[in-house]
Amino acid sequence: MQLAFSADQQVLAEAFGQFFSRESPTSVVRRAEPLGFDAPLWSALGAMEVWGSDATLSDLCVIGETAGHALAPVPFAEHVVVSRLLAWPALLSADSVGTISPRTANAQGIWSIVPAGAIADIVVGLDGDEFVAATSPAPFAGPANHACAPLADRDSRTGERSVIGNRHDFERAMSELKVIAASMLVGVAALALEMGVEYVQQRHQFGVPIGSFQTVQHGLADLPGRIDGARLLTHQAAQALDLGRVGHNVVANNEITDPHSLASMALLFASDIAADATARSLHFHGGYGFSDEYDIQLAYRRARGWALVLGDPTAERLALANRLWPSAVRP
């Protein structure tokens, strides 16, 4: 048992924490809007040799948290998942960008509102029961959206198309995406808390820092335990996927070891705390928090955008319920 980062993971966290704070300050995040992709940052990240390394999913979650903490405008989670899945040289060299569509293609073969769909040339996803990879040029354009994320609709039936697996393989890839996304949302939540704590100590009203008011303190004090919980759950899910065990759920005794259940729980809990932490922190910034000029709004919008593009949390909770109480699934 080791419920903190291992020594190696601490090194990773430090190295990538430094990398992203150097290469992805909020000026870079802003520069990348509205598309939500920064090519120089992407190249620099490629030089860090993440893709194609033998890093475990747990290690990638350590890195993912640092990317989230920097609100990095790169498709970290999506590209990690597709690189691990296909291991194509163009993905490992980052000459190509990979992504996965959480939604099944519609009757016309269109994947709608694909995360990183605006910038990826390799898109994987379900078309019917087939898990396919479709390669076609990235549009580098997409609908204006809440998070300034590179979203776009993509066609699963144009360009080079290959079948890479079945629905089961897709579920596995989606679980990996959920876990990495959860780690990034933990980073967003931690960033929001830091921003809030810093601001309420600087901002004076009634002659004292607003951070000395109990209502403000209590609004922030709820957060660190939940952020820690989200990080633990994310890493437990990552370890479960890394170990590749089937797992089992005995909910009555609070034992959940099925990796897919854990991945779903990690995404839901991390999304929730990221949404909450950014909302509270923005609120404690007062009117300035609502202004474009302050950075907390960048975190607020990504907390929602990065989570909701993977799906509606209510639907995710219902899918989780089907895993936890399978005998009661509606016929």
Partner 1 sequence: MDFELAPQVVRYRERVREIIAAHHTPEAVQHQHASGTFNNPALNRALAAEGLVERAVPGLGAGDPIELWVLFNEMEKAGAPLDALAMAVMIAGVVQHVGTAEQKAAVIPAVTAGDALICLGYSEADAGSDLSSLTTRATRAGDQWVINGAKMWTTMAHEARWVILLARTDASLPRHRGLTMFLLPMDTPGVRVDPVHTMATERTNATFYDDVRVGDDCVLGEVNGGWQVMSVALSFERGVMGGTNPGVALLRHSAQWAHDSGRINEPAVREKLARVAIDNHVAALLTQRSAWIAASGGMPGLEGSMTKLFASEAYQQASRWFQEMAGAEGLLQLLQPGAAADGWIEYDARHSPVTTIYGGTSEIIRNNIAERHLGLPRMRR
Contact positions toward partner 1, by CB under 8 A? 1-6, 9, 58, 193, 197, 200-201, 208-209, 211-214, 217-218, 220-222, 224-226, 228-230, 232-233, 235-236, 239, 251-254, 256, 265, 268-269, 314, 317-318, 320-322, 324-325, 328, 330
Q: Which residues pair with 130 in a beta bridge?
A: 127
Tokens of 254: 């609070």
In the complex with partner 1, the residue whose CB is nearer, 100 or 200, is: 200
CB nearer to partner 1: give 50 or 320.
320
In whole angstroms, how close is the CB of 3 to partner 1 at the nearest point? 4
Residue whose C-alpha is closest to residue 70's, from 119, 34, 18, 115? 18
DSSP string for 17-80: HHHHHHH--HHHHHHTTTTT--HHHHHHHHTTT-TTS---HHHHHHHHHHHHHTT-SS-HHHHH
Taking the complex as a whole, the smallest distance from the CB of residue 224 to partner 1 amounts, in Å, to: 6
Task: Give whichever of 144 and 328 is closer to partner 1, judged by the CB atom.
Answer: 328
Least distance in Å: CB of 83 to partner 1?
Answer: 23
CB of 27 to partner 1, least distance (A): 27
Q: Shortest gap between Cβ of 322 and partner 1 (angstroms)? A: 8
- Length of the chain equals 331
Nearer of residues 153 and 272 to partner 1, judged by Cβ: 272
Go through 181-215 and write b for each residue having 16 or more CB atoms within 10 A of its CB, e for each that does not. Answer: bbbbbbbbbbbbbebbbebbeeeeeeeeebbeeee
Q: Which C-beta is closer to partner 1: that of 53 or that of 201?
A: 201
Shortest spacing between CB 318 and partner 1, in angstroms:
6
CA–CA distance, 125 with 89 (Å, rounded to integer):
20
Query: Considering the complex, what minimum distance in angstroms separates the CB of residue 190 from partner 1?
Result: 12
CB of 301 to partner 1, least distance (A): 24
Show the tokens assigned to 189: 């939540």
118 or 230: CB nearest partner 1: 230
Our CB check for partner 1 shows the closer of 1 and 246 to be: 1
C-alpha–C-alpha distance, residues 184 and 264, integer Å: 15
Which residue lies nearer to partner 1 by CB, 117 or 219? Answer: 219
**Residue 79: exposure state from Cβ atoms within 10 A (0-12, 13-18, ≥19):** buried
DSSP state of 121: S
Q: Which is nearer to partner 1, 108 or 253 (CB)?
A: 253
Distance CA 276, CA 310 (A): 18
* Spatial distance between the Cα atoms of 152 and 267, rounded to a whole number of angstroms: 22
Contacts for 212 with CB less than 8 Å, ≥ 6 apart: none
Q: How far is the CB of 74 from partner 1 (least distance, A)?
A: 25
Please say whether the beta carbons of 326 and 169 come within 8 A: no
